[in-house]
Structure 1
Amino acid sequence: MPPKLTEKTFVKDMKKLLFIAAILTFHLHAFGQSKSNAAQEQQLLSYLQKQDYAAASKYVDSVYQENTNDPVQLAQLAYAHLMAGKLLKSEAQYLRIQQQHPNNLAAIQGLAGISLKRGNIKKAKDYYREAIRVDSTNALSYKQLASLSSKGPQDVYLAYLKKANSLDPGDAEVAVGLGNLYVQKEEYSQADAVLTPAIRADSSNLRLLELKMPVHIAAKKYEDAVATGEHLLAQGDSSTMVLNELGKTYFLLLQYQKALNCFLKIDKKEMSEETLAYQVAQSYRGLRDYKSAIPYLENSIREGISSKTASYYGVLGDSFERINKNQEANAAYKEGLKFENNGSLYYNIALVYENKLNDKKNAIEYYTLYQKTLDQNKQAKTIKFIKSKIEELKR
């Protein structure tokens, strides 16, 4: 699945957000700009477009006075310093803007960005909530809150994503985050409602197209799912999700060889081995190659069983013993033998037969089985003890 929208998306969004908010918002509110100011702004824009933030920072320091109260100049200083990593300077300038204009959205969002760069997630959230109070229609503030809430309660993360999406349906990152949640919940109609307008806005976005595949499958639009999957492969996207969804689609279309080809290309580390092995086995069965299917089915069964299952049965058997339900104890121990174990269950069963059920014949049988699991070099004393036990019971 595509990843959640997280705080890692911050840098790209802040470039977009602060560039527009800090440079253009104040410019629109500035009156009577001189030609010299226009030339300075053009030079600054040139540095920012080239992402030469160090040069931009030096430039604004050279053309504007540090103690300026002009909001446009302060905005340009704050933004350039923020992108150059001069957080203290940037913060001071945004705070000065906020003192002049308490509800200025660009200043609030700039301070949120500085808090986030410093790792102060709580403070960043507070600023973004303040930004929403100032402008409840600002999609980017909701998007940032969603990214900062991705590791918390899912209902909060979902609420912010839904709001951001409602305000800007064409934002691909928000659509991916929200669409992914809906696909995970198998709420495919909601996922489709989110993905369709986002794809309309950016039909070349591979993450959006990835999520469209399970939506197509759920709607039984198998040909559409195949077309999308093959397009993604042609674009170089051979991710586990694409190969798995495409393989499942080919299987549903009874095109077993193509399904098998997809499943076999999936990296085992990227997917549940139990599920992958079963899908490969089913594809072989579709091709009537039962011999090839068998080892994959065996692997699927093996992967589906916890390595601790035998231990669980051991504890269950011991619990029965402690309340003198000895038949039930041995039944539990024997169930544990069906799974991987270190041989200790044989010993437990033998003890029950010997000491609780007075069944020497079965006690000998299980002591013998236990002896065979012992290492002759490392457990010589134990082997000697078990042999003496067996001899004693035979008398």
Structure 2
Amino acid sequence: MKLWLLLGLFVFSTQFLLAQGVDKEKLLEYYESQRYAEAAQYLQSIYPEDTKDIKALTQMAYCNMMSGRFPEAEKNYLKVNAIEPHNIPVLFSLAHINSRRGNTAKAKAYLSEIIQLDSLNFSAYKQLAGFSDTPGARLQYLKKANILNSTDPDIAYDLSMAYRETKQYEKAYDVLETAIGADEDNFTLQQAQLPVANQLGKYKEVVETGEKLLKKNTDVNVINEMGQAYFYLKEYQKCITLFKTLEDLGVQNEGTLYFMALSYRELKEYDYAAIYAKKTIDEGISDHTALYYTALGGIYEAKNRFTDAQEAYKRGLTFDNSNTINYRLGLLYDFNLKQTKNAVTYYHLYLKNKPDPEKEKEQISYAKARIISLTGQKQAGMK
């Protein structure tokens, strides 16, 4: 938004003196009180609809844009652009308006035009990076913007993230190092550098930087990176102490518990190592894991890969004794694998787990009917 405000102030300062009929004091009052909609209406009341006065059109466009009347603002700027093509401030304004209205294709087109006119325009590259549809295009725009302004914190952060995603850790580190050099108190940039430094084996640096950052603000991500660095520095007790603080706060994760298990193992405290190994396993299991295996089993069934479906369903049961899986296994054994005994077993398991009598009325009746059919029993109650 700062860019558009600066452009507006520039327009205001250089184009304020419009036609002789404009009440300059009245217009100035509108600006100072940020009553841009009233300023736009006032200017439109003075100038005819078909005016070709560029200063007047630009001023009306700016007022409409600042008041959120984007269709009117775009119409005014397009008139200016038709009269005076290749006006970079006007193209930026048109890009902004289309961006705010969700028309990214048009916004990108205007920004691309700016680059054609000025290949060194940092702001255009920065905004194009945000509009990029593919990681490759985004990376190229970010690299160009970073070359033009290597100390811009937003570009440095985004470019470092792009490099991290492609595992170009050295480049990510260097980009952040340059930006941090220009702003040594930038917590965000230093925090972003910690995982990259860990990847590069700069463990002592991670600890030193992390200690400084924790004095300013207790941050979970910083603790996480420091804990890993301590582990690789073989300072296992410090690793455990740090990660224990996360566990006490209830913000532990699979990774932190894993490093604690390994640290206890290295310290030969095997009982604790076993406890945290089990905690790691529990943390790594999602509440939805059984559901995922149910979906996988269904996919295999649809592809007639019945043995794979069977394995997927049974794997799901190791995470949760799901009624849905028991029922589907009953059907699978019944109709696809032709294993009557197993089908009956899983139909019984389904009924034994007391499915909802209202929501699963049809499945309950069907399971009972199939048990009778397959076993010759007269009744198949809940067992």
TM normalised by structure 1 equals: 0.68
Q: Percent identity?
A: 28
Verify: 1:86 aligned to 2:69, yes or no. yes
- Kept after mapping to 2: 8 A contact 1:61/1:77: no
- Kept after mapping to 2: 8 A contact 1:213/1:225: yes
SS at 1:53 equivalent: coil
Partner of 1:389: 375
Shift of 1:147: 1.2
Shift of 1:350: 7.8
Partner of 1:196: 177
- Aligned counterpart in structure 1 of residue 103 of structure 2, from 91, 105, 120: 120
- Label 1:293 to 1:127 Cα distance change in 2 as closer, same or farther (>3 A): same
Q: CA RMSD in A?
A: 4.9
Verify: 1:246 aligned to 2:232, yes or no. no
Partner of 1:133: 116
- Label 1:265 to 1:336 Cα distance change in 2 as closer, same or farther (>3 A): closer
- Kept after mapping to 1: 8 A contact 2:239/2:263: yes
- Aligned counterpart in structure 2 of residue 168 of structure 1, from 149, 152, 163: 149
Partner of 1:261: 244
Look up the equivalent residue of 2:127 and give its one-letter code. Q
C-alpha distance in structure 2 between counterparts of 1:317 and 1:69, whole Å: 69
Deviation sequence 1:156-208 (CA, Å, 0-9, x none): 12122112211121221111111111122221111123222222233333322
Verify: 1:144 aligned to 2:124, yes or no. no
Partner of 1:218: 199
C-alpha distance in structure 2 between counterparts of 1:73 and 1:191, whole Å: 47
Verify: 1:155 aligned to 2:132, yes or no. no
C-alpha distance in structure 1 between counterparts of 2:276 and 2:40, whole Å: 68
Shift of 1:138: 0.6
C-alpha distance in structure 1 between counterparts of 2:58 and 2:37, whole Å: 13
Shift of 1:315: 7.4
Correspondences of 1:65-104 after superposition (within 5 Å)? 66=47, 75-104=58-87
Shift of 1:231: 3.6
C-alpha distance in structure 2 between counterparts of 1:78 and 1:318, whole Å: 59
Partner of 1:15: 5
Shift of 1:74: 5.3
C-alpha distance in structure 2 between counterparts of 1:216 and 1:169, whole Å: 19
Deviation sequence 1:1-33 (CA, Å, 0-9, x none): xxxxxxxxxx344335x2476457x68xx9xx9
SS at 2:217 equivalent: coil
Look up the equivalent residue of 2:293 and give its one-letter code. T
- Label 1:266 to 1:181 Cα distance change in 2 as closer, same or farther (>3 A): farther
The count of residues paired between Structure 1 and Structure 2 equals 351
Partner of 2:20: none
Look up the equivalent residue of 1:171 and give its one-letter code. D
- Aligned counterpart in structure 1 of residue 160 of structure 2, from 179, 196, 203: 179
Deviation sequence 1:351-393 (CA, Å, 0-9, x none): 69x966x9xxxx59x956864563376669839947993999x
Shift of 1:330: 8.1
C-alpha distance in structure 1 between counterparts of 2:313 and 2:105, whole Å: 53
- Kept after mapping to 2: 8 A contact 1:333/1:348: no
Look up the equivalent residue of 1:132 and give its one-letter code. I
- Kept after mapping to 1: 8 A contact 2:156/2:179: yes
Look up the equivalent residue of 1:15 and give its one-letter code. L
C-alpha distance in structure 2 between counterparts of 1:315 and 1:177, whole Å: 38
- Label 1:146 to 1:321 Cα distance change in 2 as closer, same or farther (>3 A): closer
SS at 1:186 equivalent: coil
Shift of 1:281: 4.1
- Kept after mapping to 1: 8 A contact 2:261/2:277: yes
Deviation sequence 1:291-335 (CA, Å, 0-9, x none): 53144133045349942336756876998897xx9xx99888876
Stretch of structure 1 that moved more, 330-339 or 297-306: 330-339
Partner of 2:361: none
- Label 1:391 to 1:248 Cα distance change in 2 as closer, same or farther (>3 A): same
Which runs of 5 or more structure 1 residues have no equivalent in the other structure? 1-10, 34-39
- Kept after mapping to 2: 8 A contact 1:313/1:332: yes
- Kept after mapping to 1: 8 A contact 2:195/2:225: yes
C-alpha distance in structure 2 between counterparts of 1:96 and 1:13, whole Å: 22
- Kept after mapping to 2: 8 A contact 1:81/1:89: yes
